[in-house]
Amino acid sequence: MSLFLSVVLKLCLAALLASGLMCLYRMRIGPKAADRAVAFDTLAMVFIGIICVLCIQWDSVLYFDAVWILMLVGFLGSASIAKFLEKGRIF
Amino acid sequence: MPSLHEILVAALLLTGTFLMVLTGIGLIRFPDVFCRMHAAGKAGTLGVVLIVLGVAVNFAGTQQDVWLRGILAVFFQLLTAPAATHLLARACYICEYPLSERTAVDELRGYLPSRPDEVFNQE
């Protein structure tokens, strides 16, 4: 891996970490449940980005399947919180 | 001198990361929950799609080819993220989450049943 790409990967990791910290801050202060749900969804996306950057850094696609799982968990989490807020129950 | 392949990967990764940072800033700065969903639902989705495409381009042509998984992950994200955001926004509107005081027009007023929430609607 060239120096150029490794510098870009470090930069991406730092920026994604900053974005994740912003999501955590919104989860901490966000006045109601839906704000926290949105922040959780975004945090799952940030984790997907971190996993992708680390895949390139380690030159391995072993962890690429975790992308699927995080997408599923984010979607199911948001959908079930929405159902619960709307009807008072999930099913 | 980096090759064209690496420049393409770096451009995809940097654009996606820039969009993710914009999502984080929007989550903190925007005034109400619907504006925050606007930030998270559009910029976040596009950022994830670009980063996953960057991985797929990076491993293209090597032993570990992830084109199919990458394209399917992009398709899946584009399918589920709008649905999740829409469900959550509808639930927030039904639960009468407060709009920002700078809201000019509320065209949805009177079209959805209102159900003020007892459990989660407290500060």
Residue by residue, pLDDT tens for chain B (123 residues) are 788 999 999 999 999 999 999 999 999 999 989 999 999 889 989 999 999 999 999 988 787 788 888 898 899 899 999 999 999 999 888 888 888 888 888 888 878 777 766 655 554
Hey, is B32 helix, strand or coil?
coil
- On whether any CB of chain B is under 8 Å from the CB of A20, the answer is yes
For the record, the structure tokens of A20 come out as: 């994740």
- On whether any CB of chain A is under 8 Å from the CB of B37, the answer is yes
Q: B104-116: b or e for each residue (b if 16 or more CB lie within 10 Å)?
A: eeeeeeeeeeeee
Question: In the A/B pair of chains, how many CB contacts fall below 8 A?
Answer: 168
Average pLDDT in chain A = 89
- Name chain A contacts of B91, Cβ cutoff 8 Å: 34, 81-83, 85-86
Residue type, B8: L
- On whether any CB of chain A is under 8 Å from the CB of B66, the answer is yes
Residue A3 CB burial class (10 angstroms; 0-12, 13-18, ≥19):
exposed
Residue type, B58: N
Distance separating alpha carbons of residues A4 and B105, to the nearest angstrom: 49
Residue B7 CB burial class (10 angstroms; 0-12, 13-18, ≥19):
middle
Residue among A82, A77, A29, A20 at smallest CA distance from A51: A20
Residue span of the structural domain in which A37 resides: 3-87
CB-closest option in B2, B27, B90 to A39: B27
DSSP 8-class letter at B100 = P
pLDDT confidence bin for A25, thresholds 50/70/90: very high
**Range A54-73 average pLDDT:** 89
For the record, the structure tokens of B70 come out as: 């990458």
User: Looking at residue B121, what is its pLDDT?
Assistant: 53
Global pTM reads 0.89
- On whether any CB of chain A is under 8 Å from the CB of B121, the answer is yes
Phi and psi (nearest 5°) for A85?
A: -65, -35
- Which residue did the predictor score with more confidence, A13 or B121? A13
Hey, is B45 helix, strand or coil?
helix
User: Looking at residue B16, what is its pLDDT?
Assistant: 96
Residue among B82, B111, A76, A79 at smallest CA distance from A87: A79
pLDDT confidence bin for A39, thresholds 50/70/90: very high
Query: Residue B77: which H helix or E strand, with range?
Result: helix B67-94
- On whether any CB of chain A is under 8 Å from the CB of B120, the answer is yes
User: Looking at residue B15, what is its pLDDT?
Assistant: 96
- On whether any CB of chain B is under 8 Å from the CB of A34, the answer is yes
- Which residue did the predictor score with more confidence, A90 or B39? B39
Residue type, B95: C
- Name chain A contacts of B23, Cβ cutoff 8 Å: 19, 42, 45
Q: Say if residues B55 and A55 touch (Cβ distance below 8 Å).
A: yes
**Range A28-52 average pLDDT:** 90
Residue among B8, B2, B4 at smallest CA distance from B56: B8
DSSP H helical ranges for chain A: 3-29, 33-58, 65-87
Q: Is 90 exceeded by the pLDDT of residue A16?
A: yes
Overall domain count for chain A: 1
